[in-house]
Structure formats: structure tokens, C-alpha cells
Amino acid sequence: MDNKIKESLELYFGFQIPVLGLTQLSTATLPNQSVVISTLEADRPLLSTMSEDEMTLVKIITDSASKILWLTNGDLLSGSRPDFAPVLGLSRSLMLEQPSLKFAVFDIDDTSSSFNTTAENVGDIVHQLIHDSLPDFEFAQKEGVVHIVRLDPEEHLNAQFRLKQDEEPIDIPIGDAGRCEMSIKHPGQMDTIRFVKKEWKDALRPDEVEVQVKSVGVNAKVSSKVPNSSLVKPDVLM
């Protein structure tokens, strides 16, 4: 597969491409701002098993290159070989730390077949990595078909998670809130005042009353009208 990819890229760039082994890497052999196509994990995992010396050599790549295409043989769409997955975390973190670096990952399900198709796909990915202002960075080839992996926030699940962590209040009519009491999450920060739902299993105690709230004045600048009733302790409103 390596030879097919090399031929395809030489045809694309129009010149012969040097091939370096991991132990041949140095600041002298890898010029600054290079375009690197790595086949270090095309057959076996490296990042999940590498030694300290190998880590130093990989760092030469990430420090010197301006664009990296990292090929893996993880079949990550099926999750069959997770030892190849660490490069995804590496690429994401490095692009945050080094905004000028473009680090793409191309995962291939089977490197022993579809040589021509794989070589053509590598060329297409390199082209968009060089020429597109907003390129994609994560690709997976499954049975000859390239899939683009994109991460989008799941806003609904994020909102539910924050609610369960008690990090974010929600706006609902106080009549629908049931029994609740006024609370302040961060004392001194008036914008963190809110009603907190509280369940009372027993009847009202002698020092508790049920009131119908007409308005609440927090200070001279903040006030709001609250139409419905709720159960609160008298000292909460004082």
C-alpha cells in the first residue's frame, strides 16, 4: 500500500517524495513547515505502545510539520481495533495548542486491499488539507467508501447533563414548579438567585406558612411579579 500511496502523491505533487523511517527523523532530515504523510500506524499501533525514545521522534514530526496526514489501520467505525485510536486525541489536542498545525487522521478498515482506491483517497484528503480554508480532519474508509467524522455538540443532552449537575436553571411558571424555596447559588451574586424545588412529605410545621406571592423585591434595581403561589419559609422572603 505504501508504494501505491507514494506513487499517487508523487503524481499529485509532481516530484519525488522522500521516505523516512521513524529512526531517521531529525530536525535536519525533516525541514520546518513540511507536509507529512505518516504510515507509522498503517500496519501496527504505535502511539499506544511507544517508548520514550519513539515519543521524542514523533514530537519531531508534530513540531516541524505544518500539515500532517496520519494513516491508521484501526477500522474505528466498527471499533474493532481501539489501539489505533489515541491519534485522534493527539490530533485534537495539538491543533488546540498549535493553531497553525493542520493534523488530519485517515483510518482505513483494511490496508491489504483496495490499494488504488486508498491511494486516490489519500490524494484527495491531502489536496483539501492544503487548499481548503476549513478542511475536515477526521476520515474513515470502510469497504472503499470514505466517511467524514465530524463532532457536533448534542445541545439537548448537554442541557440535561447540566440540569442533573444543578449547574443551569430553567425558566418555568412558578405555578408549575410545585413547592419550592428561594435560594442563591453563590452568595453575593444576585444573578444566581432562583427558586429551588423542595419536597415536603409532612404537613406544615408550626413555623411554616403557605403564601401567595404577588411580587418579590430583591433590591432597588431588581423586581419581578410572580402570579402564582408556592410554599416558602417566612424568613426566605425577609
Express each pLDDT in 45-102 by its tens digit: 999 999 999 999 999 999 999 999 999 999 988 888 999 999 999 999 999 999 999 9
Boundary-marking domain end, from 92, 120, 148: 148
Q: Do 193 and 143 share a structural domain?
A: no
SS (H, E, C) 109-173: CCCCCCHHHHHHHHHHHHHHHHHCCCCCCEEEEECCEEEECCCCCCHHHHHHHHHHCCCCCCCCC
Q: Which domain holds residue 94?
A: 2-148
Domain annotation covers residue 159: no
Q: Do 139 and 57 share a structural domain?
A: yes
Residue 15: strand, helix, or coil: coil
- Report if pTM > 0.85: no
Q: Do 29 and 21 touch, CB atoms closer than 8 A?
A: no
Q: Do 170 and 117 share a structural domain?
A: no
Helix (H) or strand (E) holding 37: strand 34-41
Domain annotation covers residue 90: yes
Q: Do 213 and 174 share a structural domain?
A: yes
**With DSSP H G I counted as helix, E B as strand and the rest as coil, what are the percentages for the chain, rounded to 5?**
35, 25, 45
Each residue's pLDDT tens digit, 170-214:
777 767 777 777 788 778 777 778 777 777 666 777 887 777 666
**235 has a pLDDT exceeding 60:** no
Contacts of 142 (CB under 8 A, 6+ apart): 75, 77, 78, 109
Question: With the CA atoms of 9, 10, 11 and 14 taken in that order, what torsion angle do they form, in degrees rounded to the nearest 10?
Answer: 130
**What per-residue confidence (pLDDT) applies to 161?**
75
Cα 126 to the center of its chain, rounded Å: 23
Rg (CA), the chain: 29
More confident: 235 or 124? 124
Cell of 231: 410554599
Each residue's pLDDT tens digit, 10-24:
888 888 888 899 999
Q: Do 119 and 17 share a structural domain?
A: yes
Using 50, 70 and 90 to split pLDDT, how confident is the model at 168? low
Q: Do 133 and 18 share a structural domain?
A: yes
Domain annotation covers residue 155: no
Cell of 40: 507509522
Distance CA 8, CA 120 (A): 7
Distance CA 61, CA 31 (A): 10
Domain annotation covers residue 157: no
**What per-residue confidence (pLDDT) applies to 72?**
93
Q: Do 229 and 194 share a structural domain?
A: yes
More confident: 178 or 142? 142
Q: Do 225 and 214 touch, CB atoms closer than 8 A?
A: yes
Strand partners, 132: none
